[in-house]
């Protein structure tokens, strides 16, 4: 495994981050979740990402289930906690109360306490705001985060699904309080979804923030979906996927043909492409099995040639670079 600094920080994290959103029935059992975390740690992955709302796919009342699974895994061997950088998130609806979601200081405090209890730990290494809360003034947000940092319950603060303007406002407000501010942003980014190249990625580089792509394989579309759907039938696909596949069939076919010529799996190439993008710290992988985890590791070693990168850009054109040059002179 290779390691890199999380943005401007001295903290080092693995080039792949273990995403845990699938760690809940009926997707991945607790036993299989434990096996995946064991294998990740053994492979040198030291960066684990979760969120307080994960588990809601099974039942809305099960929000928090994934954190509980991770907490039980950590409790099995207390030494594991010192081996990982543990990230979770706050924002989502966690109860029926009117203040059980968002980024009010009231909710941030309660959500952090609840996450600590579920994770069976005394601190969160990276506490990420899961979405921008347009109703929460930044002085309120940073006051809450500053208190948690002073109490030793949070070390670093990050964002997720923020626009560049939200990042800029957050950082300006943090500077006024003499705080470190945001250290990372987690956004949708893959060969198909490249909107962040316009402003979010440049903003992260400008502020020295790490960048963590989620859905790096577009829910499996970049993992050889044509071959798999042909072999297994469309009934195995997500309900929204067939229409999107048809829209991009030519590009996807070209992509899978290119990967076949390279002798690499499409999933590995998709992850490797992200690792070649300036400013990307660690794609967040979401394996549902140990085999899927092990296959992802190849992406860290795979070096893509300039010609291959050009071919991938031709198949999946981005927005044209950074703003404003992407759309103006």
Would 285 be classed as within a structural domain? yes
Task: Say what the pLDDT of residue 62 is.
Answer: 64
Statement: residue 206 has pLDDT above 50 = yes
Q: With contact defined as beta carbons under 8 Å apart, do 319 and 198 qualify? A: yes
Single out the catalytic residue among 54, 91, 127, 156: 54
User: pLDDT tens digit string along 26-56?
Assistant: 889 999 999 999 999 999 999 999 999 998 7
Would 259 be classed as within a structural domain? no
Would 230 be classed as within a structural domain? no
Q: Percentage of the chain with pLDDT > 90?
A: 87
The verdict on whether 54 is a catalytic residue reads yes
**Pick from 135-144, 152-161, 166-175, 234-243: least confident:** 234-243
Q: With contact defined as beta carbons under 8 Å apart, do 94 and 114 qualify? A: yes
Picking from 114, 72, 73, the residue whose alpha carbon sits closest to that of residue 93 is 114
**Pick from 113-127, 176-190, 224-238, 267-281: least confident:** 224-238
Task: Say what the pLDDT of residue 239 is.
Answer: 66
Would 194 be classed as within a structural domain? yes
Q: With contact defined as beta carbons under 8 Å apart, do 66 and 21 qualify? A: yes
- CB count within 10 Å of CB 152 equals 9
Statement: residue 126 has pLDDT above 50 = yes
Q: Percentage of the chain with pLDDT > 70?
A: 95
Q: With contact defined as beta carbons under 8 Å apart, do 158 and 182 qualify? A: yes
**C-alpha–C-alpha distance, residues 170 and 213, integer Å:** 20
Task: Say what the pLDDT of residue 235 is.
Answer: 47
Which residues does residue 188 pair with via DSSP β-bridges, in sequence order?
214
**Pick from 53-67, 144-158, 163-177, 233-247: least confident:** 233-247
Picking from 174, 312, 187, the residue whose alpha carbon sits closest to that of residue 251 is 312
Mean pLDDT of the chain: 94
Picking from 104, 175, 106, 88, the residue whose alpha carbon sits closest to that of residue 141 is 104
Statement: residue 233 has pLDDT above 60 = no
Picking from 149, 84, 153, 155, the residue whose alpha carbon sits closest to that of residue 125 is 155
Task: Say what the pLDDT of residue 231 is.
Answer: 59
Task: Say what the pLDDT of residue 63 is.
Answer: 79
Picking from 238, 255, 233, the residue whose alpha carbon sits closest to that of residue 313 is 255
Picking from 285, 239, 234, the residue whose alpha carbon sits closest to that of residue 19 is 285
Q: What angle do CA 16, 19, 23 make, to 5 degrees?
A: 145
Task: Say what the pLDDT of residue 234 is.
Answer: 47
**C-alpha–C-alpha distance, residues 269 and 256, integer Å:** 10
Would 294 be classed as within a structural domain? yes
**Pick from 70-79, 84-93, 206-215, 229-238: least confident:** 229-238
Q: With contact defined as beta carbons under 8 Å apart, do 326 and 198 qualify? A: yes
Would 212 be classed as within a structural domain? yes
Would 240 be classed as within a structural domain? no
Q: Give the total number of structural domains in the chain.
A: 1
Would 225 be classed as within a structural domain? no
The CATH number for 134's domain is 3.20.20.100
Q: Mean per-residue pLDDT for 199-207?
A: 98
138 burial via Cβ count (<10 Å: 0-12, 13-18, 19+): middle
Q: Mean per-residue pLDDT for 75-96?
A: 95
Confidence grade of residue 242 (pLDDT, cut at 50, 70, 90)? confident
Domain that residue 173 falls in: 3-220+266-304
Q: How many residues comprise the chain?
A: 329
Confidence grade of residue 232 (pLDDT, cut at 50, 70, 90)? low
Task: Say what the pLDDT of residue 247 is.
Answer: 87
Given phi > 0 = left and psi -120 to 50 = alpha, else beta, which region is 220?
left
Confidence grade of residue 138 (pLDDT, cut at 50, 70, 90)? very high
User: Helix 164-176 crosses helix 138-150 at what angle (to 10 degrees)?
Assistant: 60
Q: With contact defined as beta carbons under 8 Å apart, do 294 and 43 qualify? A: yes
**C-alpha–C-alpha distance, residues 166 and 93, integer Å:** 21
Q: Mean per-residue pLDDT for 118-137?
A: 97
Contacts of 163 (CB under 8 A, 6+ apart): 132, 199, 200
Picking from 121, 122, 115, the residue whose alpha carbon sits closest to that of residue 51 is 115
157 to each of 58, 107, 127, 211, 288, how far by Cα in Å?
28, 16, 5, 13, 28
């Amino acid at each position: 495994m290779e390691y890199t600094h999380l943005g401007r920080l001295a903290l080092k994290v693995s080039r792949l981050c273990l995403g845990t959103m699938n760690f809940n029935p009926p997707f991945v059992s607790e036993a299989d979740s434990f096996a995946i975390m064991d294998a990740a740690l053994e492979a040198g992955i030291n960066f684990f990402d979760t969120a307080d709302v994960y588990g809601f796919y099974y039942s809305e009342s099960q929000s928090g289930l994934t954190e509980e699974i991770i907490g039980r895994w950590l409790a099995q061997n207390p030494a594991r906690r010192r081996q990982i950088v543990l990230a979770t998130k706050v924002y989502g609806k966690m109860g029926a109360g009117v203040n059980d979601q968002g980024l009010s200081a009231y909710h941030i405090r309660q959500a952090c306490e609840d996450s600590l209890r579920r994770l069976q730990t005394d601190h969160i290494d990276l506490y990420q705001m899961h979405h921008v809360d347009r109703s929460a003034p930044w002085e309120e947000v940073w006051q809450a985060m500053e208190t948690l940092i002073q109490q030793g319950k949070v070390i670093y603060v990050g964002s997720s699904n923020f626009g560049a303007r939200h990042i800029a406002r957050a950082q300006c407000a943090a500077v006024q309080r003499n705080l470190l501010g945001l250290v990372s942003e987690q956004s949708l980014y893959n060969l198909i979804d490249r909107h962040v190249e316009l402003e979010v990625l440049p903003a992260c580089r400008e502020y020295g923030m790490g960048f963590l792509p989620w859905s790096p394989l577009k829910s499996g579309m970049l993992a050889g979906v044509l071959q798999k759907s042909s072999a297994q039938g469309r009934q195995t696909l997500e309900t929204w996927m067939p229409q999107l596949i048809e829209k991009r069939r030519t590009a996807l076919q070209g992509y899978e043909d290119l990967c076949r010529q390279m002798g690499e799996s499409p999933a590995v190439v998709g992850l490797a492409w992200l690792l070649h993008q300036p400013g990307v710290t660690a794609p967040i992988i979401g394996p549902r099995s140990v085999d899927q985890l092990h296959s992802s590791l190849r992406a860290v070693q795979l070096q893509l040639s300039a010609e291959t990168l050009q071919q991938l850009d031709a198949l999946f054109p981005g927005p044209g670079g950074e703003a404003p040059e992407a759309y103006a002179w």
